[in-house]
Structure 1
Amino acid sequence: MKAKNKKVSETGSSRLVSFILDWLFGGIVAGIPSVIAYLILTGKSKPLTSMYQFGAAGFDGGTTILISLICIIFGFFYYVIIPWKIFPGQTIGKKMMHLKIVYRDGKNPSFNTYFMRQFIFMILVEGAATPVSTYVKVIITTSTRFYIDTYLGLVWDVITLISVFLLFWGKGRLSLHDYATKTLVIKVPKVER
């Protein structure tokens, strides 16, 4: 693979589709513990539509926080462990769309880079970029008893929109998390598919 092919990040429909796929798959993987816990703890087959349903069902805030933390761990597996160890450089969405996360010199990122890019930056800074950030809002709201969801959601939406703008119209076609971790997303050559 030639280094010159790695100077510009992949943009366009394939990266957008991979984002949507990762949003769906990441949300499903991260949400599995909450759905199972709700079913077991309440004995109801009623769908779980909000983590705040645990409180409404009579469970204390500690239960909601614990289950939210477990959901974050499952999200960590999807967004960090899968591209680090299972499909190097690829989440399931990126694998399906033949895209790969690399350093700007074409090398595979380290665990620390995936942790910063996929987990810390995309969940805590660009919170709208993954459904896992929902559990962060629930933990903050439940532990402080101050409904932070709307405010934090608004901040995350603005930051994520800035990142999307940079991705499609910025000079290097890099999102904020790419700038922060010196990574980019490339098309995988046919020999690597």
Structure 2
Amino acid sequence: MKKERKSFDPNKLAASCDVPTWKRLVAYMVDWYLGSIFTSLPMVMIYMKVTDTQNLNVNLFQYPRQYAILSGSLGLLFAFFYYMIVPLVIWNGQTLGKRWCHFKIAKSGCDTVRFKDLFLRQIIGIFLVEGALIFPSNLFHQILSLVSNINLITPLMYIGIAISILSALFVLFRNDHRAIHDFISNTTVLSVSSTS
């Protein structure tokens, strides 16, 4: 059975749909921190078990070769849960940072986002295109480098930083405050009341 898509209901949203830039930054920092911890959790546990140490290591190049790809893949799976499943299934359009700051991801012209919208925004837009400022992107670059035996981390990091800076400038100076990942997915962020 196909899930019915809710139409945009202005009564459920706060008077202003314009989320202040400082709120977006605070939510980004909360999600950056919590997403990094959540992503690294299986990696650190595997590393500590395999090396019989208490070291919290997330550098796949220092893992025993046979555990590097497994650890990285589990880390990406945990990142997928935090950045995709939480806003899709648990809190409609919200990660913990967005929920705490009272705004959400929405499809332009609609109240809810679907899997495709979140995949384009979170995975393609943020992880891959902007991909320099969050740990899951770095983890993906490490896995690519391990598999290809080519150092892709440095060039992808610099490209990602340049695109991330451009995206931040969009948020700061465009009237609609949409980032590059919002254009890729045709999404926006909307303020929600604290009771939602």
| TM > 0.5 | yes
Given that residues 9 and 174 in structure 1 are in contact (C-alpha distance below 8 angstroms), is that contact kept between their aligned partners in structure 2? no
CA distance in 1, matches of 2:14, 2:84: 25
Q: How has the CA–CA distance of structure 1 residues 47 and 190 changed in structure 2, closer, same or farther, with 3 Å as cutoff?
A: closer
The one-letter amino acid of 1:125's match is V
**What's the % identity of the aligned pairs?**
27
Superposition map of 1:55-66 within 5 A? 59-60=64-65, 62-66=66-70
**Which residue does the alignment assign to 2:30?**
21
Q: How has the CA–CA distance of structure 1 residues 36 and 190 changed in structure 2, closer, same or farther, with 3 Å as cutoff?
A: closer
**Which residue does the alignment assign to 2:90?**
86
Out of 52, 55, 59, the position equivalent to 1:43 is 52
**Which residue does the alignment assign to 1:156?**
160
Given that residues 80 and 114 in structure 1 are in contact (C-alpha distance below 8 angstroms), is that contact kept between their aligned partners in structure 2? yes
More deviation, 166-175/182-191: 182-191
TM-score by length of 2: 0.88
**After TM superposition, what 4+ stretches of structure 1 lie above 3 angstroms from structure 2?**
3-9
Superposition map of 1:1-193 within 5 A? 1-2=9-10, 9-54=18-63, 59-60=64-65, 62-192=66-196
The one-letter amino acid of 1:26's match is G
Q: How has the CA–CA distance of structure 1 residues 174 and 118 changed in structure 2, closer, same or farther, with 3 Å as cutoff?
A: same
Q: Over aligned residues, Cα RMSD in angstroms? A: 1.9
SS in 1 for 2:31: helix
Consecutive unaligned residues of structure 2, counting only runs of 5 or more, are 1-8
Consecutive unaligned residues of structure 1, counting only runs of 5 or more, are none
Return the offset for 1:106.
Answer: 3.4
Given that residues 8 and 173 in structure 1 are in contact (C-alpha distance below 8 angstroms), is that contact kept between their aligned partners in structure 2? no
Return the offset for 1:139.
Answer: 0.8
